[in-house]
Chain A
Amino acid sequence: MNLGALFSSVNMASTLIPEWILLLGIVAIIIVPNLGKATFRLPVPGKAWRIPYFIGGKRFAFTSDPRLPSAIAAFTLFASFITALLSQMGEIGVTESCVAIRDGVARAGPEWCSDGSMILQIDAFSRLMGMIFTAALLLAVIANWDRLPATPHHRIALKTQRDEVVESRRLHRLLNNRRQVDFALLVLMVALGMSTVALSANLFMLFVGLELASMASYVLVSFNKETQIGPEAGVKYFIVGSVASAIGLYGISMLYIWNGDLSISSLRSSWADGPNGMATIGLGMMLVAFGFKVSAVPFHFATPDAYSGASGPVAGVLATASKAMGFVALMRVLIGITLADDGSEWTILIGVIAAITMTWGNLAALGSRNPKRMLAYSSVAHAGYILAGIAAIGALGPGEGSELIATAIIFHLAVLVTFKLGAFLVIALLECEGRGHELEHYHGLARRDPLIAISMMIFMLALAGVPPLAGFLSKLMMVSGIISSTVGDVAGSSLSETMDSLSWVFWLAILIFINSAISLFYYLRICVVMFYDETDRNLRLSRAPMIRIAIMFCTMGAIVFGFGILADVLASAAHDAALALFG
């Protein structure tokens, strides 16, 4: 591969603008915080001639600011988001393009999209997913802007320190910028990995991107290394995750043995020729790897531990962006490869996993007293809903119904960023005072901070799928997609005949209903304790302006994507993405 071609080709540059920006951000975040007054003393005896070379030494004032890395990361992610949005709208770059390797040289341009050697594919689906990833990470970075405490249970009492000097000194002691650099760097690597997964048209690229994102996220989970639970959670997450990845890689290798080519289009055409045992088992093994990423039962066990060990924003990223990445991979592989074959074996398998996952997640969440674990289990349940949608797509085959369900899945992944991440950010706000891991810490929150409590209530109701919030719309699209496409073709006149001829997918939709009803209990419990229970702690919440801003963004998102113009815009974008996914 010719590195020069990578940078010199105009096509390549215009195709991958958001990813270039991420790469530049990573470079900048390595270099900029290290700029200082480093000098090299010329070896001239008796003279103190020094030549400054700026890397290292005593830092400049602006480079030693612990907020700088977050600023760089936030700017990078924002620029990446905006460029992705603009290129999707056709304002800059290209809307549809591909990158292919031909003769050892990477080439970019729309003309390569029909080529077998394509490795990256830029279309509405990958752009929208990339925007979801960057948006979630951007919110997490904003939330971490000025408060990444040394320990998650360490309280930074900004509000009592009115003196600016004292305040900034405290900040420096608690948050040195190296630590911030590490965090921001890892976040940007996660972003780059996720973008690669969204773009990949080749299982190998997909795996590389997946691992890039996963590795960085394992470190993010254990980032609070001073605590007991942080590293433990990270290590557990890493062990289970690496085993799952190994199994997935094994599956990929089986596919390679079977086909000799890992590009998805080639795999699809081979699959269409006829079933093959090795290919099926290879897909099954990949299902394990992706099942771990989306935390499907029985690969979800590390999820509650990881979420409760990680800081709030990181857990939020794991529950939204990381999970969305898993689903992107799942959809790329399962839908992309096997959809031509209507009613494949894996559809019932996924249906069963979906049913178990959503029920398990909801029931386990019911008894969790730790809101973070509760949200982790609820994220397991949400994975079950989405898996049910994927199973329905598999069972129904290509068509309008499947497109509708895929639209619902993509829409759900997008709006999940608003309310799931928002809920974790509220937890992050409580973590600023060293609390948030017990239900009791939420008692009387409405009296302590009404705005935050109302935001949390909106997140909870959106998670439960209460109209008119965003969570309702996504769930409605999913269920109505499944039901309308299964019931639509039922011809029986009597009820029993109708029931007999219903597709089994219909019952998944019913199960989604039942599980939504169960989930209301534990979502509303948070609301109840916030609004009705007394607390002995009457202090105001930490000031933490950046977290509050991020929470307000999420609140607005949960509302405006629920109904109205923006919901239509997002839904039509999701529909375009679904169409692109189906090719």
Chain B
Amino acid sequence: MGEHSKSEWNLLLPVGLMIFFPVIRHLLEFDAMESAFLIVAVPLVIFPAILILGQLSKGEDWWKNQLKEGGIVALAGLAITLSLTVWLIIEFYMGNEKLSQFEDDAGVLSQGVIFDWIQFEIFDGATLLGTSTLSFGLWIDSVSLVVLFVAAFLCFLICWFAIGYMNTDPINEDRNHRFFAEFVLFSMGMFGMVLADSFLWLFIFWEIMGLCSYLLIGFYWEKPSAAAAAKKAFLTTRVGDVFLMVGLFMLYDLYHSLEFAVIFGDPTLGGAVHGVDLQWPLFFMFIGCVGKSAQFPLHVWLPDAMEGPTPVSALIHAATMVNAGLYLVARMFPLFSEPHFEGDLSDLAMLIAWIGGITACMAAFIAFVANDIKRVLAYSTMSQLAYIFTGLGAACWFANEGYHHLATVAFGASLFHLFNHAMAKGMLFMASGSVIHEMHHAHDHAHGHDDGDHHDFDPQDMRNMGGLASKMPVTSIAMMLGSMSIIGIPLIGGFWSKEGIVGQAWNVYAHGGEMILFPAILVLATAGMTGFYMSRMWFMTFAGKPKSDVVEHVHEDTQWIKTPLVVLSIVTAFSGFILACGNFVHWLAEPYHYEPFGELLAHPIDAILHELEHAFLPEENLLKIVGWTAILLSAGLGPFIAARMHGGRLADGEEATPLTNWLISYSGSVGHTDVGDLATGGFATALHNRLYIDDAYEWVISRTIMPLATICAWIDKNWVDGAIKGIESGSQSTSTWLRQFTTGRASDYLLMATVGMLVIVGILWGVA
């Protein structure tokens, strides 16, 4: 079923040409800042274009084969946004003359007001206090630039991947334009959220993303499980969003504005706002973040969201949208670091860290037993996002307690981990997509095209895989590098940031935040657990003997799927090291105090040595102990156990590439342990059932909300509808009665007119 896509590099020519878009803007004498709004506007225009064109030219050759059912259009639009983003970053980095007029002390560029949306007047009783305008503008600082770059880069690559992934599956035929349109709309939401200059617009784009997430999870709406997953994701995040909205209302009540410029310009509002006032608004907003970023206890939607097409999982549920919650917490950071609020918000910071710690550990446990390759990655996503929350919690705590330097380090490390995790996880999902895609095709190939029925075969189940390393060299390398980055193997990707987060969490303890002890222990343990479940996934998929006959027929797909993997492999392998040595962490928190890469370019050896020493031999003993424990657990113990349980040599005659062969040899050489009893024990059953959290929710809902809903439905049906129907039938019978007066006889009409005249004259006679 379905043919493999061809390379078709020629189709990418228009996409490549889009890189000249910023050049043209530049020649027209616009600067990057003035062009930044196009990052939002271009996808907004492309979204309806794809939808309409797709609906009109469904099935036509040029649309299907030349434009890939809109994929090329979407990719071209995303190429524009990516090149604009890069241009923006370059100008921000260069800090050129023209931009500096927007600067203020905080290192923020904001392009005032782009358009006014709603204007209203504020009254106190009857007196007019003034007008308030809801306007849209851009707010660009290091935080938004990093998240914007992550989003733009991954949207571009995953769209590329999706063209190969979606267009070869016959069930998607003639509806891929819907996928690409929603994909582009989502990217619009993400870019808009990152660039928005007020919490209001942030919230609006946040909801657009939520909508697209719902639509894309339910892309295979004819599958009941996908439809249910879409609903679950939408409703669960809605719970968080309601709280976020309440939080925003409270914030508005305090500041009479939701604009960053007002709130961050003077968080105390001239002494009117105290730290205690902010506790509840920030708490409610944090619940919104918990829902969006799938943290305990609102995490239940994320694993089910894997029902969506794999590119969607890669983009929305791993790399970008789930970062929205983190982004919002990072946006609140200036409130925590306001000196006047010192100590008032540290409890909230601790709560953030606790939620992070609990989720990190819980998700890692569930990932131990998951057999669906995408679900392992989903739980891993939850766990890694939880790391970032822990780091942000630590950063906020430091900031609120006045340890400015440490706060900077923790904040930078958290955002750095966001970057590393997004790159690695986006790639891991694409690699898993590549595996699933090939398993699916291979199954169809092996079992004939005609039956079309593969209910008995799950292409996502790792128990059907094994030994794929020799069949899919690029995918296996990409998967290996991504897993290493997530695990935190020294020198690769996530190592640098994760080390920072774990270290700073313990550092909080050292500086008097005793409450952090529990999450600090949890994240340290989770480092080892990550090592286990990520290695387990890799070994189950790529090492050992094939576990089903389908594997025989697997071979790797074309460039559409491979190119993004290769690009991201390179990024994952080297970016962590380069950025860490380039002082990226400090630049993120305080862009105008640190010049990134300056030191690295001037004295490369010194900078690298300094960073290595900082990472492996920090001055404080606590950090030294914590750091090395983490390294040993994650890089040593976890992978070792995984290799013993699931590793093994490939079948005879199969040869993996040298880059992965060492790992397979290692797993084959450590021996084998059978843990059959453990896998069926009570705890494992609980893990298989996701610790019964979903069941608990269902139990509570079926006993509280469902009866209430039944009553409401009854009232609606009998009383409300009854009233409406009564009005309707009443009007109809009145109408019939009134129309009886139009008898059709002129004499009746005259009688009526005469009566009318007499009444008029009589009344006037009376008053006159």
Identify the A interface with B (CB < 8 A).
235-236, 239-240, 243-244, 247, 275-277, 280-281, 283-285, 287-288, 291-292, 297-299, 301-302, 304-305, 345-346, 349, 360, 363-368, 493, 518, 521
Contacts and interface: CB of A to CB of B under 8 A. Distances in A.
B696 interface: no
A360 to B, nearest CB: 6
Contact of A364 (B738, B750, B756, B767): B738
5 contacts: A239-B749, A284-B757, A288-B756, A345-B764, A345-B767
B126 to A, nearest CB: 8
B277 to A, nearest CB: 31
Top-9 shortest CB links A-B: A367-B735, A298-B756, A277-B768, A301-B749, A280-B768, A366-B735, A284-B764, A345-B767, A236-B746
Nearest to B728: A521
Interface of B: 126, 731-732, 734-736, 738-739, 741-742, 744, 746, 748-750, 752-757, 760-761, 763-765, 767-768
Contact of A301 (B732, B748, B761): B748
Contact of B768 (A235, A345, A360): A345
A467 B82 CA distance: 39
Contacts of A281: 761, 764-765, 768
Contacts of A301: 741-742, 748-749, 752-753
Main secondary structure of the interface of A (DSSP, over half): helix
Nearest to A235: B746
Contact of A288 (B731, B749, B753): B753
A383 to B, nearest CB: 14
B640 to A, nearest CB: 67
Given A280-B768, A298-B756, A363-B734, A240 B761 contact: no
Contacts of B764: 280-281, 283-284, 345-346, 349
Contact of B753 (A244, A363, A366, A493): A244
Contacts of B756: 288, 291, 297-299
A349 B736 contact: no
Contacts of A284: 757, 760-761, 763-764
Interface centre among A281, A284, A297 (most CB of B within 10 A): A284
B670 to A, nearest CB: 69
Contacts of B768: 275-277, 280-281, 345
A276 B748 CA distance: 33
Nearest to A288: B757
A106 to B, nearest CB: 35
A302 B757 contact: no
B108 to A, nearest CB: 38
A542 to B, nearest CB: 29
B757 A236 contact: no
Nearest to B748: A301
A559 B757 CA distance: 40
A299 B753 contact: yes
A287 B756 CA distance: 11
B742 A305 contact: yes
B195 to A, nearest CB: 30
B753 A240 contact: yes
Given A287-B760, A367-B739, A518 B731 contact: yes
A284 B749 CA distance: 19
B763 to A, nearest CB: 6
A247 B734 CA distance: 31
B763 A349 contact: yes
Contacts of A364: 735, 738-739, 742
Given A284-B764, A349-B763, A304 B742 contact: yes
A297 B756 CA distance: 8
A529 B763 CA distance: 45
A240 B736 contact: no
A277 B767 CA distance: 9
B731 A298 contact: no
Contacts of A299: 752-753, 756
Contacts of A360: 738
Contact of B749 (A236, A287, A346, A365): A236
A285 B768 CA distance: 14
A493 B765 CA distance: 39
A363 to B, nearest CB: 5
A360 B742 CA distance: 12
A346 B765 CA distance: 11
Nearest to A277: B768
B746 A239 contact: yes
A366 B737 CA distance: 11
Nearest to A240: B749
B749 A366 contact: no
A243 B750 contact: yes
A367 B736 contact: yes
B269 to A, nearest CB: 30
Given A240-B750, A280-B768, A521-B731, 7 more contacts: A239-B746, A285-B761, A287-B760, A288-B760, A299-B756, A302-B746, A364-B739
A134 B457 CA distance: 76
A235 B753 CA distance: 16
A247 B735 CA distance: 30
B511 to A, nearest CB: 57
B750 A363 contact: no
Nearest to A368: B739
Given A243-B753, A301-B742, A367-B739, A349 B731 contact: no
Nearest to B733: A367
Nearest to A279: B768
Nearest to B756: A298
A284 B765 CA distance: 10
Interface centre among A244, A301, A302 (most CB of B within 10 A): A301
A474 to B, nearest CB: 25
A304 B739 CA distance: 10
Given A277-B765, A281-B761, A366-B732, A298 B746 contact: no
B364 to A, nearest CB: 54
A247 B763 CA distance: 17
Contacts of A302: 746, 749
